Every structure is written in structure tokens, then in C-alpha cells.
Chain A
């Protein structure tokens, strides 16, 4: 006999959602790299270590910071000067990144906050 309560729990759990619109996540590269750019950008066809598309490796925190900041995609403290990377993520004027589905706007805003608050070095 299949325990119906167990199946109902799985079905109900599969549809839950919650939270508020307030974002208290830290605007730090150590957090952004581990939880946003690595899972969303360092995929097998894109900015993983072995694909290294456009010579950008976002598969770990150190390489990701060096490729974004040292190559001028991110200009610390300057969101206007860093607009290329922000426009890419928002699909404004070019191919959207990531190309399979957009990042949540909350993630892009968090990255924007990190850039704005960034005083070199801001890889912490």
C-alpha cells in the first residue's frame, strides 16, 4: 500500500514558494561568485574552466574576479563604466547573458550594488 500522506508531502513540497521582496544578501564578490555567477555562468558551453568562452573563466572566485576586473568588464565603484556587463545581463543592445534564461533582476541589482560599493580590491 502506498502511503498517500508521503506522496502528498512530496507533491505539496514541489510547489512551495515564499519570501519577501527585501534583499538582505551581501553585495560581496565571495557571495556573488559562489551563489550566482558560478552556477549560472560557468556552465559547460560558456565560462567554465574547460570551455573558457571569450577567455573568461567564472568557475572560481579568483579567476572570475581577475577576468572581470583586470580586463575592464567591471570598473570598481563605477556602474556606468561597467555598463557593458550589466547591459549583457539585461539583454540591452546585445545577446543576453546567460543566453538560456535571464538572471533574476534581484541578482543583477546585487551585482550592480557590488560594483557600486567596490573599493579595490573588492574580491572579499
Chain B
């Protein structure tokens, strides 16, 4: 009974809560013993709702204990339906050297509800819906001794959004697939944290999901994803709208995995993306590397992209660079410690347009469905003499 009550309360919070982008934890690829993202997720490229295998892993491998099943295993859903939710409460402390620094805020960061309905063994419909998160409400801040508390619940009804909804044909977990609807075209490391430069400056900003037609092939040792995308029409209501660059184009992602008896496994990927917008066209190409050292339980993830921007009305083009490189240590079950270096250079010819960030993060999974997350970023912007910016963020994450 207690499990049911916990689940019901969580569902209510999710319905009136706040949504964030849904993505995956690429740190679990290889380190958890699973080599493909779609072993744990229904999506062919990972992220979002967990499959039954993923739910089992979340209790048996990822967390210190518990039952990762829906409603903590209290309810067994029919095989044609899968439901879930993500809820995150967060606090941030930002210091950018300005006169109002540092600032502390507490706010509901995410509430997403997921549903997947399988019509046959091959065809399914998936949707992720929630309320856009709000770090800094226009009104409804309560000043407290610990910072600013977001109490702005009056705009919840205006902030509902469906980030993902798509129809998919996938006869089996490995092999060919095709899907059409709203989702990110597979590209890059696909971290859950949207503030990473490789998401923010490469077309994967929060709520930047496009209407996409995608197809590909997922095998044990490789996977290929080909996508064509376009932004939601401007006539669509906010519920279906996106944020960020409004581009139409295509993307390709090919990953080759190196798995076997060796204690060191990993993957290399090549990727490309073209985004054509009314004001700007972007061509980008890059590489992704993943390397798992099993004896020392360290996973190294890296991504680097070169981006060519063309702004025809300004008769100007520029080259950009964005990257991520960092190790994650999983010393014991339930604990993940990571560090990373990020770089974004807005214009490769102008050295003073660079941003460098150094990140440290701790993820703790004390029980299936629960996560505690701490993150610190030290960011240096532009030229010498500009103040550095720091961010500390803590989250309490519950997934249903």
C-alpha cells in the first residue's frame, strides 16, 4: 500500500510539476555492462522512458537496491503499455562577478510524463509531456534566508509542452527502425544536462526538439542513424513549439563499438549535421569517443565538433569549435564521480570569443528511482580580466 501511495503522490507532482529536457546518461553505456543505449531505453538512440531491461538494471546494477519497476514493482502493466515520469527539484548558486552575485535559487526543474503504446510487435507510439521548468520566474519569487524560492505556480497552465511524440516502426531491439514525429535527431553524446556546451551550441539546446523523420540500424557492434528535421511551424501553439535555432536539415550519426573479452572496451563515432535557417546556415561535423577501463571502473567520454556558420545577410561566415572531454569514475555501485573540460569558441579567428568550463559532478543512486546530484562548474569567458563564472547545482531526482 505504501508503494502505491508513494507512486500516486509522485504522479500528482508530475502532473502539476515542471518539465526539462529528457536525455540519457551516456555514462552507463559500457560501465553498466550494456553496450547499446536502446538496451535500456525504448528510443533507438537512448533517452527517455526506460524499457523493462532498463528498469531491471536501474535496481540491480545502477542503484544500491530497490525495485526499478513501474511504481516500484507494485503494478505490472500490460506489455503493450509503458508509463513513467521524471521529477527534479533543484537549487543553484551562481556567481558571475556582477554586483548582484552570488544568487541562490530553489525551483522545480523537471516534470515529464512518458507513455508508450505498442500497437503490434513492430509499431508503437511514444510521447513525453510536461511543464517547462522555470529557474527565474517573472514574479512569484519568495526571498528567504537560503535564497530565492520559486513560488510562481500561476503560469503552469501556460507552460505545458510536448517535447516528444512519435510513431515508430521497430520489429526488434536490433536491426532496422524508422520513426517520425517530434524528437532530437540522434547526434553527439546526448547528456541529460542541457547546459553542456556540446548541447547548447550544437543545436541541442533545451526544448530544441524538431519534427524529425529518422531511420537507421542498430546492431551489437555498430549503429547508424539518419535523420531529416524541421522546426515546428510557427502557427503551432506553444504546447508544440521549440526554443532555439529554427533550422531544417539533416543529421547522421555512426557509432562503431569495440567490445569483446578485453578489459578495455569503447566506441568511436563520426557525425555530421546541416541546419538551414532563415537567418543562418550551420554545417557541422565531429567525432565522439567512449572508452571504458573495467579494471579501474573509469569511463572516458569525449566529443568534438567543428561548425561552419554562414550568415548571408551579413555576407559573413565563421568557424566554431565545441567540445567535451572527461572521465567518470564508478568506484562502487550507486556512486558516479565525474570531471570534464568543455570548450566553445564562437569564432576560431578571434581568440577572445572562447569559453572554457571545468566541471565536477557527483551522482548518488541510493535506491531505485532516486538520485541525488551535485554539480560544480568554473567557467572562464573571453579574454583575460573578465570575471569567471561559477555555478553550483544540486538536484533531487525521482523517476517513476
Which residues of A line the B interface, CB within 8 A?
A: 1-3, 6-7, 9-11, 13-26, 28, 30-31, 33-36, 38-39, 42-46, 48-51, 53-54, 59-61, 91-96, 99-107, 124
Among B241, B303, B314, B350, which residue has its beta carbon within 8 angstroms of that of A30? Answer: B314
Q: Within the assembled complex, what's the spacing in Å between the Cα atoms of A39 and B206?
A: 11
Q: Which residues of A contact B138 (CB under 8 A)?
A: 53-54
Q: Which residues of B contact A92 (CB under 8 A)?
A: 98-99
Q: Within the assembled complex, what's the spacing in Å between the Cα atoms of A39 and B313?
A: 18
Majority-rule SS of B interface residues: mixed
* Least distance between A89 CB and chain B CB atoms (Å): 10
Q: Is the CB of B352 within 8 A of A106?
A: yes
B228 at the interface (CB under 8 A from A): no
* Least distance between A2 CB and chain B CB atoms (Å): 4
Among A23, A26, A45, A95, which residue has its beta carbon within 8 angstroms of that of B314? Answer: A26
B219 at the interface (CB under 8 A from A): no
* Given the contacts A21-B352, A106-B382, A100 and B94 also touching, CB distance less than 8 Å: yes
* Given the contacts A21-B350, A26-B314, A34-B279, A39 and B201 also touching, CB distance less than 8 Å: yes
Task: Give per-residue flags for B106-142: 1 if the beta carbon is below 8 A from chain A beta carbons, else 0.
Answer: 0000000000000000000000000011111010000
Considering the complex, give the chain B residue whose CB is closest to the CB of A109. B352
In the complex, the number of residue pairs spanning A and B with C-beta atoms less than 8 Å apart equals 223
B386 at the interface (CB under 8 A from A): yes
Q: Which of B66-104 contact A (CB under 8 A)?
A: 94, 96-101, 103
Q: Is the CB of A50 within 8 A of B238?
A: yes
Q: Within the assembled complex, what's the spacing in Å between the Cα atoms of A35 and B201?
A: 10
Q: Which of B300-344 contact A (CB under 8 A)?
A: 300, 302-304, 309, 311, 313-316, 318, 321, 323-325, 341, 343
Q: Which residues of B contact A100 (CB under 8 A)?
A: 94, 96, 195, 389, 391
B: number of interface residues (CB 8 Å): 77
* Least distance between B377 CB and chain A CB atoms (Å): 9
* Given A10-B325, A105-B382; 20 other pairs, CB 8 A cutoff: A2-B264, A6-B287, A7-B302, A14-B325, A14-B343, A19-B348, A21-B350, A21-B383, A31-B311, A34-B311, A39-B205, A46-B136, A50-B238, A60-B278, A91-B97, A91-B98, A96-B97, A100-B391, A102-B97, A103-B381
Among A53, A59, A107, which residue has its beta carbon within 8 angstroms of that of B353? Answer: A107
* Given the contacts A14-B325, A25-B350, A43-B205, A104 and B383 also touching, CB distance less than 8 Å: yes
